[in-house]
Structure formats: structure tokens, C-alpha cells
Amino acid sequence: MTVSATATAEALPLEAPVAEQARAIRDSRPLRLITCGSVDDGKSTLIGRLLWDTKAVKEDQAATLHRDSGKQNDLGLPDFALLLDGLQAEREQGITIDVAYRYFSTDRRSFIVADTPGHEQYTRNMATGASTADLAVLLVDARAGILEQTRRHATIASLMGIRQFVLAVNKIDLTNYDRARFLEIVHDFKEFALTLGVKQITAIPMSALKGENVVYDGRAAMPWYDGPTLVETLEKATTRSNQTVGFRLPVQRVSRPGESFRGYQGTVAGGSVKPGDSVVILPSGMVANVTKIVTFDLVRNAAVAGDAITLVLDRQVDVSRGDMIVAIDSQPMTGRGFDAQIVALQPDRIEPGKRYWLKSGSRRQRVLIEPVSQLDLKTSKWGTAERLGMNAIGKVHLTFDEQAIFDTYEQNRTTGAFILIDPDTNNTVAGGMITGRRSELGGIHKDDQRVLLSLPADLAEKIMASELFASRRQDVDIRHTTVGRAAEILGDLDE
Amino acid sequence: MSDIRNEAEAKQNATHKPPLDPHLKALENEAIHIFREVAAEFERPVMLYSIGKDSSVLLHLARKAFYPGRVPFPLLHVNTGWKFAEMIAFRDNIVKEYDLDLIEHINPRGAAENVTPFTHGSALYTDIMKTESLRQALDAGKYDAAFGGARRDEEASRAKERIYSFRTPDHRWDPRNQRPELWNVYNGMIRQGESVRAFPLSNWTEVDIWRYIQAEDIPIVPLYFAKKRPYVERDGMMIMAEDPRMELLPGEVRQEGVIRFRTLGCFPLTGAIRSNATTLDDIIAELETATVSERQGRAIDRDQSGSMEKKKREGYF
Ligand SMILES: Nc1nc2c(ncn2[C@@H]2O[C@H](COP(=O)(O)OP(=O)(O)OP(=O)(O)O)[C@@H](O)[C@H]2O)c(=O)[nH]1
Ligand SMILES: [Mg+2]
């Protein structure tokens, strides 16, 4: 038998001088990741092992873990999953029920990890974890291979915008470190991932329990694998931001502490803003200019996606909670009909003809849902559907009483996301991702015909402030340029 | 004091402060977002204020979230009558300096029946003076949302809690049926009598809290810094022996030593640590090499695995 340093629970500490470590962690926002996959594949054990090997488990917690573990395996190792499965019901049943959030860091980076349940009944809690993740660690039991639940989790993760996957082929110790089996599972998964459009996959053979290829390499047991460990992969993963898209500020509240001050408070959901920028308030379509960005610390000269700010405009406009302040030259879609994909999360089905509450950002409005199709996880094909049962992944039409404001989820993970709330129970019954606006045809325009106008800026501003313009804004392209350049472009078209 | 904080104050806030690093900035933004969302969606929010380091950070974030306006909800201090004297002095100072509304509640049953940590044991004492007392105060104020400074890294059942944590009319938490919570879209819809506990610091760790206190120069109770203080050893903990109600048991001796606290609660139940950390730099350095968790010093959290969940189900924060 080979015994490597990685197979013991008393592994060496990660070496890095404290000062250097602190500096590295501060350089970026934490990477958010989830573990997912079918029930009992070792997700909680893996995160427990990760915490253990990165020294995130303190002595008193380790003592409690040893006490609670009892005799659970022949290796004399504690039951690492107990570091995560903190609810009494979870400990009694030996499964994860709800998502646990944990925090750890290496000398390179800090991480927020969400350990999600594999049990199908608790898919909603997996979706909760997936919605904010940058990366998914998808576990597969090397003996069982890819199961329907594995495919469900991979599909939900991908729908929710996760592009980076680690395929952790776990419990490899129980296959005698069988390389052929590992390659077979990787092949199966890559084939399936193609249908999801997922391309970034790092496959790692792993023993979560023994800590092989988690933080420490498993070379002693698997000399045939020379790829990265899990932690090496996580350290190199990228976080993403909404900074390169158009400016979006969903208004959370209007601050009016006195006659002389009126500010719009919210978190920038896309792009950036600075004093002097022209903005449009949706859905009213009013135009204004930014005069100040106020924060507690100082009056700032710019704010970017993610910043919680207070915006002051140059004129009296009607703005209230639920409105969105956006860049004048890069606006979201507005309208009453949208297409979306949703994940149904509760035993009560999503019914056509029922009016739900939809909340997106700070905006809550009534919506009718019309299910169009449902994904069959066995065949990866979309079939027709009239209602969506628990855990179904479906395509739906959304119809609103009033104007709604969205980007596609593809373009903006904040302004393209929503939840559905059942007005009878007040529970969150679905998570949704906008795929596009449905055009409300009518009128006499031909679909692909366009008109270019060249107008003085002040006249354009007046037209853009109109109700009609506001309702069709997403169909319009706007560029600022000089008189000369405009004449040139129009001249080119005449030729 | 005027309602509008003026720009001179803003400039003063800004002096000597380098910008926050991206990690703390992300945590701060998230917390401010939660504060604003709850304040906008609920009719009667309240902020639980326990005077400890997490409460200090929470309060600082609340002031930032609503600047240049006032904090638009009251602070609620559920007092037990057994807090460190320095905590109460600190609290009163802060409330005055920042122009805050403070509500203090002490369970009248505790006083009437003379419930103390010495006579009733830590479990029953906590149940009456903290859990029951909190329920009384929340009912009395008809609050539909209560902010708390709990962090998920504190304890295994906390790690499972949502940012908007739904409570039934009798304040119970049902960990098996939590609402899904996707992205940062929070579901604040409740019926009459139901409520939500909101946790803006959910994703913060203990080190984050200290780094933020340092970066933002947030005032904290001096008990967090090492100093020569009187104590007795009891149940393996160093308990401060300063309050006249702290009677020595047979065999106990009053000692003096340089000690400090990693967490603050009721003095008879909070253990000090031996430490020479007199500055924030010292505290952070100490934390980064600490081998035990912060809960170690708290009698009420040590009872057994699962005890926090049980208390939370019954309405404890
Ligand atoms: N031999 C071996 N056993 C493992 C390994 N990883 C996990 N296990 C065992 O598999 C069982 C299930 O592990 P968990 O971590 O609870 O699985 P899970 O995926 O979190 O399960 P759910 O959250 O309920 O879906 C436990 O008994 C673990 O000790 C491994 O790499 N090798
Ligand atoms: Mg698990």
C-alpha cells in the first residue's frame, strides 16, 4: 500500500507569510463557487476536506468534528461532511438539505463556497447557490458515472450563467484509481456539455475523503494524472462583472432628507456613471443629467457596476422605487411581452393563466406566465408543456400589465434575472432568466426597414422624452456625432 | 442636529482614508444594498444592536446606506442587565454622537423572578433573558423586519441561513423550508404578523470585520483591546471580576492579568483570552494565527452541537 502525505488528515499547513497572504486576498473580490451533483457523490465531504486542508477549521471545531464523527469509515478519518451539514435533520439523515455558505482562503485568493444538496427534492436550494456562482464543481461518483441528477444540476448551473466547470470524478479510491473509468466519465460529460454550450471544463480524478487532488496532489495514488488539483484550478478561475455593458441603476429608494436634497439610491447593475452623463429614467422615458454621485465618504467622480450609490440629477423628474436609471445611448429593452427560461422550485406547479408577482432588481409587478416548452433531461430535447412541475426547466412567455424593463440574462446577470412569487403563499416559486423581448406586431411597418434621421441634439432629446419613444426605445440606435460627419454618412447612403 | 449631513462632514469622513480593497468593498456594497432593500420594502424595520464589534460594523453600514439622511429605523438593544459596564457606557455615547433612536428592552419576568446566570444556569437564563425577551420586544414594536449582525461563518446552522430569513408570527425559523433566495433579488412578501430577519453581514468573516473596522476607523468597545483586568477562573474560562454582583465561589481567587475579549456578551458567560493585542494591527495579526474559533469563549454556544439551531428555531437571533 502506498501512503502519501495527502491521505492523512494531519497535512502540512499551506505556507505563506501572513502579511503576504493578507495582501493577496485583498486584491480581488472573492471567487464564488458551488459544489453540485447527485446525492451522496461527496459534495459536502469535498468542501469539508477543502476547509480542513486550507486550515479554515480551528482546533475547537476539529474537536467537535471528531466527537460528532463517531466511527464512519475504516480510514480513521473524520466525517468531513459534518463541517457543512449543520442542521439536525441533515445529521440524522446523512444528507444535505439546504445550501451552506462557507469561506476560506489560500495564499492566492479568497473564496465563498456554497455546498448544495444533491437530493432532487431540494433542487431549489441548489438553484439558490448556483445563481450567484462564478464556477461550479460538479461531482460524479466514479462508480456510478453521470446520472440524471448530474445532468439536471449541470443544466441549471449553465442556465444560470456559470461558464466554468470543474468535473470532479470523486471516490476514485473506490475504483482502484481506474484511469480508464475516469476517461470514460470525462468523455460522457464532455459530450453532454456540448448540448449546453459549456466549453470550459477541467476534469479532475479525486478522493474527497482522502484529500487527493483537492489541496494536495494525489500523485502517489494516481501517477497517471498530471493535471491541476482542485485548488490550483480555483485559484486561476475568473470572476466576472457587469462593467462593460450599458449603465443601469435600479432605484431602491428615493432619499429626501430635506428640501434641498433629492437622491436616488441603488446598486449599479451594469456599466459605469460619472457626473455630466445623460441618463434616461425608465419606464417614463424622461431625460436628465447626472450632477453628483454621493457616498458617505466623499463625492465621487465615477461609480461602476457593483457600487452602492446615491445619484443626484440636474432637474426635477419623477423617479420612484422600481424605476431604472440607464445610459441614454445603451438602453435596456422595455415592453409588455418577454421570453424567458425558468426553473420551477416548488411542489405547486407553475400554471398558465395565473397572475404571479415578478421581482427583478427593485421592481415588482404582476405577470402572466404561459409555459411553452420543457426540457427533457433524459434526451436533452425541448418538448411542449402546459404547466411546469417542481424542478422543471421550461421556456415561458411573460405578459405584463405594465411596461417591464430587462436586459437579456446573457448580457446582464442582474437586470436579466427575476424571481416569481406566488401571491397565494408568498413563496418564491421560480427563478427566471430573460432571453428576449417579444415584439408586439401591429402597425404598418415592415420588420427590417430602418430610417436614419439626423437631428440637432436638443430636438432629439425632446423626442426621446416622449411616451411613444419610450415604448419603442429598444428598437432604436442612437449615436452622437458632428454635423459634418452626419452629412457624410447620409451622403454615403444616397450613392 | 439637522437631518442632512453636510458636505463638510463628508469631507471629514474622507480624510486619511485610502479606498477600501475590492474584497471589503464588495462586502460593503452588498450590505448597503440589503439595508436599502429592507428599509424600502418593510413598514416597521428595526435594527438589533448588541454593542459588539459586529453591531458596530452593522451600524456603520446603516449610516452609510442612508447618508445623507438619518438611519430610518430605531435600534433595539435587548438588555439582560448583565452586560459589561463599559458596553453600556459605549452604547449611550454612540447613540448621542450619531443621533440615533434607541429602544432598550429588559424582560420584566427576569427582574420579577430574579433570573440570573448564576442561579438559573446559562441555558435557561439565555432562553428567558435573550430569546423570550427578544420576542417580547419585537411583538411590542410590531416590527416586520429586524436587522441582525449574524455572520454565516460563526456556526454551522448560521451557515444555512438566508439573508432574508423568514419567521412565523411566533418568531420561529423553519430551516427545512426556507424560501429559495436567488441572485440579490430578495422576496420580502409576508402576511400580517409574520416577519423577516435580515442579515447584511451574512458573507463576512471575523477577519473581514476587523479589517473593516480598521479601514473605516469604526469605534468599538475598549474591552476588545488587551489591558490589565481582574478576573476569576471558572469552568475553564476567564470571567471578568469587576462587577460587584460577581461573587467568588469557594476555592476561586481574584486574579489580575492582561486579557481581552474576542466576543462580547453577558460578563458572567463570556470568557476572556490572554493577549497583548492593544491595537487593531495586533488583533488582526493574532487572528490570522489563531487556532481556536471565536465561539470558544461563549458558554451558551458550547453546550452541544445543534444547540444554536434549537435556539434559533425558538426565536433567538
Ligand atoms: N471512499 C470515499 N468515500 C467518500 C468520498 N467522498 C465522499 N465519500 C463518502 O460518501 C458519503 C456521502 O458523502 P457526502 O459528502 O455527504 O455526499 P453529498 O454529495 O454531500 O450528499 P448530499 O449533499 O446529500 O447530496 C459519505 O459517507 C462520505 O464519507 C471519497 O472520495 N472516497
Ligand atoms: Mg452534502
Domain boundary, last residue among A189, A214, A236: A236
Same domain, A218 and A360: no
Report the residue from B37, B66, B160 with minimal CB separation from A87.
Answer: B160
Q: Give the three-state DSSP class for A226.
A: coil
Closest ligand 1 atom to residue A94 Cα is 16
The arithmetic mean of pLDDT across residues B78-101, rounded, is 95
> Residue A422 sits in a domain of what CATH number?
2.40.30.10
Interface test with B, best of A252, A300, A414 (most B CBs within 10 A): A252
Percentage of residues in chain A having pLDDT higher than 90: 66
Q: A241 lies in a domain?
A: no
Same domain, A175 and A113: yes
Q: A242 lies in a domain?
A: no
Same domain, A149 and A35: yes
pTM across the whole model:
0.87
Q: How far apart are CA B64 and CA B31, in angstroms?
A: 10
Give the residues across from A355 on adjacent strands. Answer: A368
Does residue A442 surpass a pLDDT of 80? no
> Which of A104, A96, A165, A106 shows the shortest CA–CA distance to A130?
A165
B190: closest chain A residue by CA: A426
Same domain, A466 and A398: no
Does residue A452 surpass a pLDDT of 50? yes
Q: A23 lies in a domain?
A: yes
**A111/chain B closest Cα distance in angstroms:** 10
| B182 touches A at CB < 8 Å | yes
- Does B183 contact A421 at a Cβ distance shorter than 8 Å? no
> Residue A71 sits in a domain of what CATH number?
3.40.50.300
* Cα(A44) to centroid(ligand 1), Å: 7
Same domain, A81 and A228: yes
The alpha helices in A197-249, defined as continuous H runs, are 230-236
Q: Which domain, by its residues, includes A275?
A: 248-327
The arithmetic mean of pLDDT across residues A400-404, rounded, is 95
The values of phi and psi at residue B104, to 5°, are -110, 135
Domain count, chain A: 4
Same domain, A156 and A279: no
Residue with cell 489580575: B256
Please report the DSSP string for B234-282 in residue order.
ETTEEEE--STT-PPPTT---EEEEEE-SS-SBGGGB-BEE----SHHH
- pLDDT interval class at B292 (50, 70, 90): confident
Domains of chain B from N-terminus onward:
7-215+308-313 (3.40.50.620), 222-303 (no CATH)
pLDDT in tens, A147-169: 999 999 999 999 999 999 999 99
- Does B68 contact A30 at a Cβ distance shorter than 8 Å? no
The values of phi and psi at residue B54, to 5°, are -65, -40
The alpha helices in B170-254, defined as continuous H runs, are 206-216
Radius of gyration of chain B (CA): 19
pLDDT in tens, A416-438: 999 999 999 999 999 999 999 98
**B285/chain A closest Cα distance in angstroms:** 8
Same domain, A362 and A388: yes
The values of phi and psi at residue A221, to 5°, are -90, -30
A140 lines ligand 1 (CB under 6 A): no
CA-to-CA dists, residue A380 to A18, A165, A186, A383, A466, angstroms: 49, 19, 18, 10, 45
Q: A115 lies in a domain?
A: yes
Quote the Cα angle for B95-B98-B104, to 5°: 20
Does residue B161 surpass a pLDDT of 90? yes
What sign for the dihedral angle of Cα A291, A295, A300, A303?
negative
ipTM of the complex as predicted: 0.90
Question: Quick one: pLDDT at residue A449?
Answer: 63
The arithmetic mean of pLDDT across residues A317-346, rounded, is 96
What sign for the dihedral angle of Cα A401, A405, A409, A414?
negative
pLDDT in tens, A24-37: 555 678 899 999 99
The arithmetic mean of pLDDT across residues A300-310, rounded, is 93
Q: How far apart are CA B57 and CA A277, in angstroms?
A: 33
* Cα(A42) to centroid(ligand 2), Å: 7
Same domain, A314 and A421: no
Same domain, A43 and A170: yes
- Helix %, strand %, coil % for chain A, to 5? 25, 30, 45
Q: A134 lies in a domain?
A: yes
Question: Quick one: pLDDT at residue A343?
Answer: 95
Same domain, A323 and A348: no
Same domain, A274 and A159: no
- pLDDT interval class at A441 (50, 70, 90): very low
Does residue B298 surpass a pLDDT of 80? no
Same domain, A193 and A322: no
Ligand number nearest to the C-alpha of A80: 1
